[in-house]
Amino acid sequence: MYGLVNQGVKDLVLNKFGEETWQSICDEAGLKSDRFLRMKSYPDDVTYSLVGAASKVLELSPEDILIAFGRHWVLFTAQGGYGDLFDMAGDNLFDFLHQLDELHTRVKLNFPELRTPSFRCTDVKASSLRLEYHSHRDGLSALVVGLLHGLSDRFQTPLDVTHEVKREDTGTHDIFFVSLTEPPGGAK
């Protein structure tokens, strides 16, 4: 994964738990340096080690760490220079979800070694949809839950997320049921 991802993890920990906790996580992960170059590709193991170490140090499950990071990632990347791309991808949650693959295609222009997941919306209704998540990486479905909640915050659109189908069951992808907790337009 690119250094930008690891910087996002660092930013989350520093903002929520402070420098001392971050250093404990780095020590637990066996990192020699906590400086990550945004545009440099790092082995996925570095990120997975950070998540594992954060889980141990913070006494939270890896899933809870990934959910918190996913939610933080939306804000972190929007403030870190990708807000305009977010704006181009849609002005509401469902439009944005439909454009995720196109957004990743644009991001790849700056990160040539980037291996992004793929998303597909199905069973789309006015207040719900199913989101298929395809990735070559294992164990990141909780991150998607966090990303969806971060996007919910960004678009001020309350939602519920249910992890309906797990990759372990399909062999290829996860499916999330995303439902708005308020009808579109705020009508009851």
Summarize pLDDT for 116-163 with one digit per residue, the tens.
Answer: 999 999 999 999 999 999 999 999 999 999 999 999 999 999 999 999
- Angle formed by the axes of helices 44-58 and 19-29, to 10°? 120
Q: Residue 183: is its pLDDT beyond 70?
A: no
Distance between first and last Cα of the chain: 43
Residue 36 reports pLDDT greater than 70: yes
Average pLDDT, the chain: 92
Which CATH number does the domain 65-186 belong to among 3.30.300.180, 3.90.1520.10, 3.90.1150.10, 3.30.70.3280?
3.90.1520.10
52 confidence band (pLDDT: 50, 70, 90): very high
What residues contact 118, with CB distance under 8 A and at least 6 apart? 101, 104, 133, 134, 135
Contacts of 172 (CB under 8 A, 6+ apart): 134
More confident residue, 75 or 108: 75
What the block records as the tokens of 93 is 């949650």
Helices then strands (H, E): number in the chain?
A: 9, 4
Q: Name the band, by pLDDT with cuts 50, 70 and 90, for residue 168.
A: confident
The DSSP element (H or E) to which 163 belongs, if any, is strand 159-165
pLDDT for residue 175 is more than 80: yes
C-alpha dihedral, 82 to 48 to 145 to 101, nearest 10°: 50
Domain boundaries, the chain: 3-60, 65-186
Q: Is the pLDDT of residue 185 over 70?
A: no
